[in-house]
Each structure stands twice: as structure tokens, then as C-alpha cells.
Amino acid sequence: RTVTLALHPAFRVAPVRPRTFGAFVEHLGRCVYGGIFEPGHPAADEAGFRTDVLDLTRELGVTSVRYPGGNFVSGYRWEDGVGPVEERPARHDLAWHSTEPNTVGLDEFMAWAERAGVEPMYAVNLGTRGVPEALDVLQYANAPQGIALSDARAAHGHPEPYGIRMWCLGNEMDGPWQTGHKTAEEYARTAAETARAMRQEDPGLELVACGSSSSQMPTFGTWEATVLAETYDLVDMVSAHAYYAEKDGDQASFLASADDMDHFIDSVVATADHVRAELKAEKRIMVSFDEWNVWYQHRAESRPPEGDDWPVAPVLLEDTYNAMDAVVVGSLLISLLRHSDRVASASLAQLVNVIAPIMTAPGGEAWRQTTFHPFALTARHAAGEVLDVRIDAPTFANERFGTSSAADAVATWDETAGDLTLFVVNRDPERELDLAVNLADFGGLSLVEALTLHHEDPYAANTQDAPDTVTPQANDSIRVEDGRLSGALPAISWSLVRLQ
Ligand code: AHR
């Protein structure tokens, strides 16, 4: 069983976009409190940020971080989170049935983002709020001193504007679970009005309209068409969200999850381009895949508290990821990279503790989940131009998609440095693949490194006690001879091959 990959330096898709490697920090569970922020922790800095989490965030290679939600943002009052901490109100967060103490808000997040070296992406509340409050938070964040809100920011110790460029116009407004959920028509109007006003304040912003919460939403397709028909000239991107999980032991469908992501992106691009044709517009709308990951939503740890229980930072959505989950995350990244011509931004949801690559124990260690590794390696080594890869591979049957290619792959080519990097996944649940790649069109490349993430038990996980159970290992079977790359890809594996 051989997979042949055809590669050529001319198969260019687009330059690698740093924003492909974004993540997400929501006021949800222990993502903020006990995640990025834990005053009193031995590793906390003077502002209360965990430096161990900051170190891992940098190691992960995260470039941008979406904040403050998520479902949370649709009931959030941003002004609760600025000013003297002791005067900030605690509020019920309806999305996650929790109490929000507002100890961390915009100014703290911006201080954290600077330490982490990431670009902020800020979501405004279009659930319970609208144009005035979106303008207020924009002026607080970005206006030079001299008006009420920017002077308030200066009085809070931040005289310089933050200059946040990327703004999300609400979150998942197509979802009936969303506070302030809207029909496509209602949302299109609100988003257009908000975008127009925000652009009057600053024409240079990059605005993201809400797309669909998944490709399974009953309004998928018509939602994007309706929203873009009204907002086309006012926004730059439309969002896409997708979460995948193994259900009822169906490994094969889960391993093929990237087929859905491919279909999702292609459909949104087709819809956006259809609206473009109708409007005779010149610009193209890009996709912001600003929530994606593996998420076991049916598990108890994803169920919010109920009744009179409104805890602060409860344990919520704390999935422990296994080797197979990491292979799927690597494979979803291949899909995102392959679509770099139209996916301008993406955010792994989320960063710490909440469906996250980084976990923390209160007062204790921070560690890397299995999913940390394919993300960190892709973020570190994808460079130059994304190259499309033509794949000739066996298929495997699965319930969700019928048949799927056993292998998926993408490459990046940094011509100046002479670096060719191959990201390849064997999604077949049972069978090994022999890899064959003709490198003749790249001159005389040699192998620099070949790493494979695989575990004989696909359910093996990294835990606090055994944080290195699943890590990428050198794949000694991979070699280059006479301009030909060959080697073995175990079943359920993700690999990185670096050549120069
Ligand atoms: O990331 C967890 C949740 O998933 C977000 O709050 C919401 O936007 C999505 O449904």
C-alpha cells in the first residue's frame, strides 16, 4: 500500500500566513482564571500571569489570540473589566452558567498578549448589545488620547492606543444557544450597521462577520449568502467554526474529519464568490476559521453547572487528548494550510485548559497535551509558500464520508532558505502506508529531519503524571535516495519531513 505524493515548486497556493496559527482565550472554565492568570502561583509574574503558560504559548508558536469569547461575549459588558479591580462588578455569565469576577479584562488581556508576543483579535458583543457598545470598546482600545474613552484608558495606565486590527462582529449568532441569537436577516443588518460605524471610526480595521457554527447547521450556506449580501463591502472575512470528535467508536469517520473542513471552506468560498458575482464586487471575502479543534461535547466535563450553582472558573470542557486526537489536529492543520489562498486567519479553540493544547494544575504544573505537538511543529516549520500536493493513495471506508483518502498532505517551500517541509498524515485506522515522493524538481535535497506522532494505543494520552506519553519521534524509515523520498507511515499517524 503506497501513497505517492506529486510535488512541484510551481504548485503554489499562497504564502504561509502567520495568522493560520492563532488560538483562542475565552472567559470560560479555567482558560483565563487558573489558565493564563493565576496570581499567587509560584510561576506567576507581578501581574499574575503564569510564566510557565506564557513559555508554552510561545513554544506552541501561537501568533494571534481571539478574545474574550465565544458564547461568553454575547452577554459581556466590556466596561466591567476595566478600571480599578476592586470596583469591578461580578456578574452571571449566562453562556457557561458561571460567575465572572471581571478581574481580567481588556487591559489585562492586552498586557498578557504583549508578553506572549501575539496579535489580539477582539470580539464585540452583538448578542445583548449593538453599535454603541462596539464603538465604545473600539474607542477605548484604539483611539488616541483626547476623548472620554481613550482618556479613561490612559487613566487606567495605558496612554498609548492598542491598535487592535482584527475585530469579530459577534459570535455564532446563527446558533439557537447563543444569547441574543438572530436570524440571518437580523444579524446581517446588525453586523452591517456595526461594521459601518466601526469603519467610520477607523477604516483600516479588519472585520469578521459571523458565518456558520458548523457545516451541519440547518442554515449553513444560506446564512453566509444572506449575511454577505448585506455586509460585503463592509467586512473582510466571514467566520467558520468546526469541532470534531470520535463518536460511538467510529474511528474511521473521526480520522477523516478534515474532509468536512475541506468541504466547509470550499462551500463558504463558493458562497462568498457567488455574492461577489451578484454584486459585481472586486474584492474577495476571506475565511476566518476562528474556532476549530477536537471537542468531546457529549462528555460530562462539557456540561455547564445548573440551578443555583454559579461558580467562578469551574472545570469545564477539559478534554484530555489522545494520540488519535493529535493526528486529527495535525490533519485539520493540513486542510487549513492547503486553503491559505482563502483562509486568512484561524484560531485553535482554545489555548489553556478548555479544549486546549496546554493544561495547568492549580498551583502546580503546566503540561503539553498530545495536540500541542502537531500544532507547534507546523507553526514552527511551515515557511515560504504553501504548495499543493497531488496525492495518489488508497482509500478507507467510513460512515460519514463514504470513502476517504488514507493519506493527506501539504508542503511548504521556502525558496530562499531552500527548505522544503512536508506535513503528511496516515488516516487509515488499520494499515501502514509506504510513502513515495519524487523530489527531482527541487534540485538535490537532503533529509534534515523526519518526525512521526504515533502511538500503538491510539487512546494513549498525556496527563499531568505522564506528560510525555505521546510525543513525536524520529522516523528512521524515512530516507532520501537519488532524489526519491521513501519511508513508512504507521496507521493513525502524523508526520513532519524536513528537507534542504
Ligand atoms: O469554544 C467553546 C465554544 O464553542 C465557544 O464559546 C462557542 O463559540 C462555540 O460554540
The CATH number of the structural domain formed by 17-381 is 3.20.20.80
Average pLDDT, whole number, for the chain? 97
Let me know the angle formed at the C-alpha of 18 by 228 and 72, rounded to the nearest 5 degrees.
Answer: 55
Q: Report whether pLDDT(301) > 80.
A: no
End-to-end Cα separation, the chain, in angstroms: 27
Question: Residue 382 — pLDDT band, cuts 50, 70, 90?
Answer: very high
* Residue 130 φ/ψ region, left for φ over 0, alpha for ψ in the -120 to 50 degree band, beta for the rest: beta
Domain ranges of the chain: 17-381, 387-499
Give the pLDDT confidence score for residue 261 in this predicted structure: 98
Q: Per-residue pLDDT averaged across 377-398, rounded?
A: 98
Ligand 1 centroid distance, CA of 183 (Å) = 19
Q: How do residues 449-498 score in pLDDT, each as one tens digit?
A: 999 999 999 999 999 999 999 999 999 999 999 999 999 999 999 999 99
Report how far residue 459's alpha carbon sits from residue 5's, in angstroms, rounded to the nearest whole number. Answer: 29
Give the pLDDT confidence score for residue 300 in this predicted structure: 75
Ligand 1 centroid distance, CA of 212 (Å) = 12
Q: How do residues 145-176 score in pLDDT, each as one tens digit?
A: 999 999 999 999 999 999 999 999 999 999 99
Catalytic annotation, pick one of 108, 172, 193, 224 = 172
Give the pLDDT confidence score for residue 16 in this predicted structure: 98
Is residue 48 a contact partner of residue 39, using CB atoms and an 8 Å limit? yes
Question: Residue 299 — pLDDT band, cuts 50, 70, 90?
Answer: confident
Report how far residue 191's alpha carbon sits from residue 207's, in angstroms, rounded to the nearest whole number. Answer: 10
Name the residue type at position 156: H
Q: Per-residue pLDDT averaged across 371-392, rounded?
A: 98
β-partners of residue 449 are 498
Name the residue type at position 385: E
Kindly give the number of the ligand 1 atom that is closest to the alpha carbon of 24: 1
Q: Report whether pLDDT(431) > 90.
A: yes
Write the CB contacts of 196 (distance below 8 Å, at least 6 apart in sequence).
234
Catalytic annotation, pick one of 26, 108, 193, 291 = 291
Kindly give the number of the ligand 1 atom that is closest to the alpha carbon of 293: 1
Is residue 175 a contact partner of residue 181, using CB atoms and an 8 Å limit? yes
> Which protein residues are within 6 Å of ligand 1, measured from CB?
26, 28, 69-71, 171-172, 213, 291, 349-350
| Residue 201 designated active-site | no
Q: How do residues 269-288 score in pLDDT, each as one tens digit?
A: 999 999 999 999 999 999 99
Kindly give the number of the ligand 1 atom that is closest to the alpha carbon of 350: 1
Q: How do residues 316-325 score in pLDDT, each as one tens digit?
A: 999 999 999 9
The CATH number of the structural domain formed by 387-499 is 2.60.40.1180
From atom 4 of ligand 1, which residue's Cα is the shortest distance away? 70
Is residue 352 a contact partner of residue 316, using CB atoms and an 8 Å limit? no
Establish whether domains 17-381 and 387-499 are of one fold: no
Neighbouring C-beta atoms of residue 22, cutoff 10 Å: 26
Is residue 461 a contact partner of residue 470, using CB atoms and an 8 Å limit? yes
Q: Report whether pLDDT(303) > 90.
A: no
Q: Give percent of the chain with pLDDT exceeding 90.
A: 98
Name the pTM for this structure.
Answer: 0.97
From atom 3 of ligand 1, which residue's Cα is the shortest distance away? 70
Q: How do residues 1-14 score in pLDDT, each as one tens digit?
A: 999 999 999 999 99
Is residue 394 a contact partner of residue 406, using CB atoms and an 8 Å limit? yes
Residue whose C-alpha cell is 483611539: 143
Could you list the beta-strand ranges (E) of 358-461. Answer: 358-360, 366-368, 385-387, 390-392, 395-398, 402-405, 407-414, 419-426, 433-438, 447-453
Structure ipTM over 0.85, yes or no: yes
From atom 7 of ligand 1, which residue's Cα is the shortest distance away? 70
Q: Report whether pLDDT(390) > 90.
A: yes
Q: Per-residue pLDDT averaged across 226-252, rounded?
A: 98
CA 274 to chain centre: 26
Question: Residue 302 — pLDDT band, cuts 50, 70, 90?
Answer: confident
Round the CA-based radius of gyration of the chain to a whole number and report it.
22
Give the pLDDT confidence score for residue 298 in this predicted structure: 85
Ligand 1 centroid distance, CA of 264 (Å) = 17
Question: Residue 93 — pLDDT band, cuts 50, 70, 90?
Answer: very high
| Mutational test site, ligand 1, from 73, 168, 171, max ligand atoms within 8 Å of CB | 171
Report how far residue 328's alpha carbon sits from residue 220's, in angstroms, rounded to the nearest whole number. Answer: 23
| Residue 160 designated active-site | no
